[in-house]
Amino acid sequence: MITEQHKLIVTIVNKGKSGKVLDVSHKAGAVGGTVIYGHRAAVRLLLGISIDPEKEIVLTLIEEAKARTVIDAIAKELDLDQPNKGIAFILDLDHVVGLSVSD
């Protein structure tokens, strides 16, 4: 059962990097993850027009006690402290229906 002791790690990375997010998350203690393929086109007027590449979104449902370890591992292995590498954040879960996890 999902409770307030579970968190959701959302990681948004460039196309082709979701597999690495899943591998790193698993090694750090996560059981699984869900990949959502997205496309976001952003037009910038800086020396012409550029279109941002497709992104992949990885959703990782995890126990609160493991969340910090997993997100720190993701940030380190995918160099998220560098520009244009991606973003990861943790969301609180107040109420979830239709889903259960076995730890």
What is the structure's pLDDT at 53? Answer: 62
Band of residue 71 on the pLDDT scale cut at 50, 70, 90: very high
pTM: predicted TM-score of the whole model, two decimal places? 0.80
Contact at 8 Å (CB) between 92 and 3?
no
- Average pLDDT value for residue range 73-81: 97
Between these two residues, 90 and 3, which has the higher pLDDT value? Answer: 90
What is the structure's pLDDT at 2? Answer: 59
Strand partners, 90: 9
What is the structure's pLDDT at 55? Answer: 82
pLDDT tens-digit map of 13-63: 998 999 999 999 999 999 889 998 876 544 444 445 444 567 888 999 999
**Residue 99 in domain:** no
What is the structure's pLDDT at 22? Answer: 96
**Residue 100 in domain:** no
**Residue 88 in domain:** yes
Place of tokens 């059981």: 31
Overall domain count for the chain: 1
CATH of residue 57's domain is 3.30.70.120
3-state helix, strand, coil in the chain (%, to 5): 25, 35, 40
Phi, psi of 62 (to 5 degrees): -150, 155
User: Long-range contacts made by residues 35-44, C-beta under 8 angstroms, separation at least 24?
Assistant: 35/59
**Residue 102 in domain:** no
Maximum Cα interatomic distance, the chain, rounded to a whole number of Å? 52
**Residue 97 in domain:** no
**Residue 31 in domain:** yes
**6-14 β-sheet, strand order:** 34-38, 55-63, 6-14, 86-92
**Residue 1 in domain:** no
What is the structure's pLDDT at 30? Answer: 92
Residue 44 contacts by C-beta under 8 Å, 6 or more apart in sequence?
Answer: 50
How confident is the prediction for the chain on average, in pLDDT? 82
The domain of 33 spans: 6-92
**Residue 53 in domain:** yes
